Amino acid sequence: MNVFTGLSTLLLAGALAAPAGSSFALELTAQPEAVFSAVIARAGGGGGRVGGGSRGGGSRGGSPARGQTGFSSAGGGLNRGSSRPTGGWTNKVGTDRARPSIDRPAANRSLAGTGSRDLKLDGNRGLNREGTRELTRDGSRNISRDVNRDINRDVNRTIDRNWGRNIDIVNVDLYPGWARPGWGVARPWSYGWYGGWSTPAWGWWGARAAAWGVGALATAAVINNAVDAAVSDYMSYIVVPNTDYQLLYGTVQPTSGSSITFDVTANGSTYRLTADCNAGYLNGREPSSASQAELLNAACQVAYGSV
C-alpha cells in the first residue's frame, strides 16, 4: 500500500466519523494529493515527515499547534515575569475602605469628657482633699508633734541654742598640770567654798526642781570619785551623774572668783560653756533642764568644791 492509498483510507474513515456538513468532510472528495496538502497546511506542519512533524509545533508565524499553552513566553519556572500590567501599579487603596493601621484607636471624646473629667473632679480631687489632707493632718502632724517634739525635748533641751561655740577638741589641753592624782589640792586657785549644802542656794532652784521632779543634785563625793577614777584610767572626761554629758574635767578654768569656763561633749560635738557658780547660771542663763543643772553642779564642784 502506497502512502497516498493508506492516507486516503485513513482520511475517509475520519470523514465518515465527522459530523455531517462539516467542511472537512467536503474536502474528502478532492484528490488525495490535494487532501494531503490541505491536511498538512491545516496542521501547520510546514515540513517534516508525516506523523512526526517538528517538535516545535509549526512555524513561528503560523497558528500555535494543538496542545500548546499560553505559557510559551514564560521562563524556566512559574515566575509571573517582569512585564508591567497595562494599567500600571498603584499603592493607593480605595477611599471607601479603612486603611490598615496598628495605631491605637482614638479615644472616645465623650468618655474623656465625662469619665476622665469626673474622675479628676470627683475622684482625684476627693482623694487629694480627703486622703492627702487627712494624711498630712493625722500622719505628718502627728509625726511632727510626737517625733519632732521628742527630738526637740531630748536634743534641744540637751543643747541650748546659745551653745553655739563648737570647738575642736584636738587643740585642747585635756591634761593640765593640776589634772593628776591629788588633783584636789593641785588646783592653783581658791577652792573649797562651793557646795556644802543639802540643796543648792540658787534662787531659781526650788520652783525648777519641783517642775523637774528632782529633789537634789549629785553630791561632792560622787563627783570627786568620778574624777579620781578618770585620772587613774587616764581618761579625759567624766560622765556627769544622771546625764549623757561628758565633762572634760581638765578644761575647767576659773575666770573670776566664782565664774568658770569648761568644755563638754554632747551628741558627738564638743562645746565650750561658761558658768556662774554663785548665781547658778549656765551660759548666762538659768538651766533649762535637770541635766543642765547637773552639768553646772559638776563643773563648779571640780573648780571650787572641797575634796
Give per-residue pLDDT as tens, 183-213.
Answer: 999 999 999 999 989 889 999 999 999 999 9
Question: Is position 289 within any domain?
Answer: yes
Residue with cell 493601621: 101
pLDDT at position 165:
72
Question: Is position 97 within any domain?
Answer: no
Cα separation, 249 vs 237, in Å, equals 6
As for how many domains the chain has, the answer is 2
Residue with cell 498630712: 136
Q: In 3D, which of 295, 164, 140 has the Cα closest to residue 226?
A: 295
Question: Is position 19 within any domain?
Answer: yes
Question: Is position 133 within any domain?
Answer: no
Question: Is position 89 within any domain?
Answer: no
Question: Is position 294 within any domain?
Answer: yes
Q: Which residues contact 35 (CB under 8 A, 6 or more apart)?
A: 7, 8, 11, 27, 28
Contact 286, 204 (CB under 8 A): yes
For the chain, which ranges sit under pLDDT 70? 1-157
Question: Is position 214 within any domain?
Answer: yes
Q: In 3D, which of 69, 16, 63, 25 has the Cα closest to residue 41?
A: 63
pLDDT at position 305:
97
Residue with cell 517625733: 147
Cα separation, 293 vs 262, in Å, equals 15
Cα separation, 295 vs 291, in Å, equals 6
Grid cell of 30 as nine digits = 478532492
Domain that holds residue 26: 3-43
Mean pLDDT for the chain?
72
pLDDT at position 134:
58
Q: In 3D, which of 121, 103, 125 has the Cα closest to residue 113?
A: 121
Question: In this structure, which long-range contacts are made by residues 32-36, counting pairs with CB atoms below 8 Å and at least 24 apart in sequence?
Answer: 32/4, 32/5, 32/7, 32/8, 33/4, 35/7, 35/8, 35/11, 36/4, 36/7
pLDDT at position 31:
54
Question: Is position 254 within any domain?
Answer: yes
pLDDT at position 306:
95
Q: Which residues contact 237 (CB under 8 A, 6 or more apart)?
A: 230, 246, 247, 248, 249, 265
Cα separation, 57 vs 67, in Å, equals 9
